[in-house]
Chain A
Amino acid sequence: MGAFKPIWTPVDSGESIIEAFGGLDLDYINERYRIYDPALGRLVEKPWTDIVNNRSLPAGRTYWDQNGVLQTAAADAPVIEYDPVTGVKLGNRIWGEYRNIVPQSEDFSDTSWIKGDASIATVPGTGLSGQATVQKLVENPSSNRHRLAINIITVGTQSTFRLIVKPDGRELIQITFSGNITNNHININLSTKTVTAASATIQAVVRTLPVGVLEVLITTVNSSGASGEFSVDMITNPLAGRGLGAYTGNGSSGLLLYLAQGSPNSIAPPYAKTTGAPVIIPAETQIIDGQNFLDLWNGAEGSIYAHAKTDAPDPVAAYIFEIGSTDGNNRRFFLFDDPATALLGSVSGGQVLITSMTGQPVGVPSKLTYSFVRSGNAKASRDGVLSPQFSGASPSIESRMVIGGRTSNPTQYLNGHIRRLIILRKALPASLLQRITSL
């Protein structure tokens, strides 16, 4: 448990903003959660189970821990994730619905994986979750394509595929899609992370994970709803054409295999294990409401601070929070909507862009604030840039706040991480909004 940074004592008296104005502080990075108790006149430490008291967190979510080990979270357990490459703590991960459409994601010896002039061997090694053995794709001593393939279903117009592998004698691979999926291919040198034969309909990036394995992330453009084949060929010519990577194998070289994932949309989601059928991870929800927080809400005015990032690429909007008394109308949302950050109001069936701040970066944390009073006159700031003040009736934080998404809409989520979230009972002045987002 770490200490609070002094950014929340910017007033001359040295008094904490949170203590001065009352509110709730969800500090995911320091794993510390505090709420202002008016009876005691101070912030009181609370356990996670009391703070996010209304949540729906599905089974099957995997995440990278502080040691770079792939873990699986239990149902209802929040995920505090680390970057597997840098080891940096990313914060509270919140994601909408996502899928793995590769039906057998870890057991490549299963018959659903077609082995072409190759076989699967089990060899000593460290698995992503700490296992003592790893599967290896071994080429046969024949002159042919040496490959691994599987039928997949329900791709999207834009799909992402993740393959985690490690060279063990072969460092060049060709990824191909065929059948009713657009007939794409791309060649990848795993040692140099060089990609060739990319096109407008298929691209790939390679990064190194902690245990020396390589994550290949492929994006493709396909015919929505189609099914077809996802194939991994070992090749020797980096410029080999599609399906033309035949060579004479030596009977021992190959590729270590860790996992495979496919997602039928443009966002590469967290990994989800499959064991025979494509799997759906339902959208998760974290809601603050209920009796524990009656003292928190102030219908007259309030402020919210968020330090968050989204992995959603343009043009996918990423919702940081939803406030309002119900999940019907008269709600207000704060969201990333590349290239802008926007504050949206939903009143009587219409959605109105209230204000926006342009230039929103994707994939890096951003600091945002929003303050309002009941009669209007709301303000917002992002990373030290103050938005124009706006007026109009303001849905207030009366009893309920949805963190990282909107209830009941699996397509409107943050799809990223929240480092810190602070709710205040008072509307901060513009100068403070700008200051706390520039620190």
Chain B
Amino acid sequence: MTHTYRTDPHYLHFHDRAAWLESWSACELSRLDEETGVYLPIYRCHVVEVGEIQKGGEWDEEGLEIVAPEILPGYHVNILLENELVLPAALEQYLLPKPDQPHMIWSCEQGA
């Protein structure tokens, strides 16, 4: 069975983790794992909860902060879909444009 990884992952932004979990648990890309009570992604859907993003920062030799990291507010989630899977309409309102310098990328994006 041939398949493809999408090279256009989705970058989502929520107010906080609770907002993410509420939307995630209600969408068709997730399923309830009855053993753990956690909503896990369905087959061929990959999810990384990046959470709060910190960028940059400088520290001295003692580890003391010289320049504070920039904190991007909100809760960030990256989703990668394979084959025919599509982002549910309910999640589209949380979509961000693909950042010029992503905080974290999927391997299929390298060289894409």
Q: Does A249 lie at the interface of the complex (its beta carbon under 8 Å from any beta carbon of B)?
A: no
Q: Across the A-B interface, how many residue pairs have beta carbons closer than 8 Å?
A: 123
- Distance between Cα atoms of A275 and B54 in the complex (Å): 19
* Any B CB within 8 A of the CB of A160: no
A153/B59 in contact, CB under 8 A: no
- The one of A58, A59, A278 in contact with B104, judged by C-beta atoms closer than 8 angstroms, is A278
| Contact A278 B43, beta carbon cutoff 8 Å | no
Contact flags A283-299 to B (C-beta < 8 A → 1, else 0): 10100001000000000
Contact in complex: B104, A99 (CB < 8 Å): yes
Min CB gap A189→B, angstroms: 22
Task: Report whether A153 and B54 are in contact in the complex, using a CB–CB cutoff of 8 Å.
Answer: yes
Choice from A227, A228, A243, A410 contacting B62 with Cβ under 8 Å:
A243
Known A-B contacts A53-B1, A59-B110; A277 and B102 likewise in contact (beta carbons under 8 Å): yes
Known contacts A179-B69, A282-B5; 13 additional CB pairs below 8 A are A56-B82, A59-B5, A59-B110, A99-B104, A101-B104, A154-B50, A227-B54, A228-B59, A278-B104, A281-B107, A282-B46, A290-B1, A410-B46
A151 lies within 8 A of chain B by Cβ: yes
Q: Is A65 an interface residue (CB 8 A)?
A: no
Contacts of A229 in B (CB 8 A): 57, 59
Are A282 and B106 in contact (CB-based, < 8 A)? yes
- Docked pose: A281 CA to B80 CA in angstroms: 11
Residues of B within 8 A of A283 (CB): 46
Q: Which residues from chain B sit less than 8 Å from chain A, CB to CB?
A: 1-3, 5, 31, 33-35, 40-46, 48, 50-57, 59, 61-63, 65, 69, 78, 80, 82, 101-108, 110
Q: Can you spell out 20 A-B residue pairs with CB atoms less than 8 angstroms apart?
A: A58-B5, A75-B108, A76-B2, A97-B48, A153-B54, A178-B59, A178-B62, A180-B54, A228-B63, A243-B62, A277-B101, A278-B104, A278-B105, A282-B106, A290-B1, A328-B31, A346-B35, A349-B34, A350-B34, A409-B33
Return the contact of A178 from the options B1, B63, B110 (Cβ within 8 A).
Answer: B63
Please classify the interface of chain A as helix (H, G, I), strand (E, B), loop, or mixed, using the class held by over half of its residues. loop
Provide the bound-state CA to CA distance between A97 and B62, in Å.
34
Instruction: Let me know if A327 is at the binding interface, CB within 8 A.
Output: yes
> Given the known A-B contacts A277-B103, A282-B5, A283-B46, are A409 and B57 also in contact in the complex, defined by CB atoms under 8 Å?
no
Residues of B within 8 A of A349 (CB): 34-35
Closest partner residue, chain B, to A58 (CB atom): B107
- Please tell me if the beta carbons of A280 and B1 are within 8 angstroms of each other in the complex: no
Say yes or no: B57 contacts A179, CB within 8 Å. Answer: yes
How long is the Cα–Cα vector from A280 to B104 in the complex, in angstroms?
Answer: 7
Complex contacts, B3 vs chain A, CB 8 Å: 56, 76
Contact indicator A60/B108 (Cβ below 8 Å): yes
Given A278-B103, A280-B105, A408-B31, do A60 and B59 touch, yes or no (CB 8 Å)? Answer: no
The reply to whether A273 and B110 form a contact with Cβ atoms under 8 Å apart is yes
Residue of A at shortest CB range from B105? Answer: A277
Contact A56 B35, beta carbon cutoff 8 Å: no
**A97 contacts B46, C-beta separation under 8 Å:** yes
- Report, as a range, how many residues of chain A touch the other chain: 35 or more
- Which residues A287-335 have CB closer than 8 A to chain B? 290, 327-329
Report chain A residues within 8 Å CB of B1: 53-55, 290
**A151-B56 contact in complex given A282-B106, A408-B31, C-beta closer than 8 Å:** yes
Candidates A58, A101, A278; contact of B108 at CB < 8 Å: A58
A18 located at the interface, meaning its Cβ lies under 8 Å from any Cβ of chain B in the complex: no
Known: A75-B5, A153-B103, A349-B35. A285 touches B108 (CB 8 A): no
In whole angstroms, what is the CA distance A243 to B51 when docked? Answer: 31
CA A350 to CA B36, docked complex, whole Å: 9
In the complex, are the beta carbons of A279 and B34 less than 8 A apart? Answer: no
Asked if A272 is an interface residue, CB under 8 A from chain B, the answer is yes
CA of A53 to CA of B3, assembled, Å: 11
Residues of chain B contacted by A226 (CB below 8 angstroms) = 54
Q: Distance (Å) between the CB of B53 and the closest chain A CB? A: 8
A219 to B77, CA, bound (A): 27
> Is A425's beta carbon under 8 Å from chain B?
no
A129 interface residue per 8 A CB criterion = no
B46: which A residues are within 8 A, CB to CB?
A: 97, 280, 282-283, 410
Please tell me if the beta carbons of A277 and B104 are within 8 angstroms of each other in the complex: yes
Residues of chain A within 8 A (CB-CB) of B53 are: 153
**Closest Cβ–Cβ distance, residue A28 to chain B (whole Å):** 20
Whether the Cβ atoms of B43 and A407 lie closer than 8 Å is: yes
Within A43-59, which residues are at the interface with B (CB < 8 Å)? 53-56, 58-59
**A61, A227, A350 interface centre (most CB from chain B within 10 Å):** A227
The reply to whether A59 and B107 form a contact with Cβ atoms under 8 Å apart is: yes
A138, chain B: closest CB distance, angstroms = 21
Report the 8 A-B pairs with minimum CB-CB distance, sorted nearest first: A60-B107, A178-B63, A349-B34, A243-B61, A183-B63, A179-B59, A282-B46, A351-B35
CB-CB nearest in chain B for A276: B101
Q: Mark A57-74, 1 if CB is under 8 A from B, else 0.
A: 011110000000000000
Are A225 and B105 CB-contacts (below 8 A) given A55-B1, A178-B63, A409-B40? no
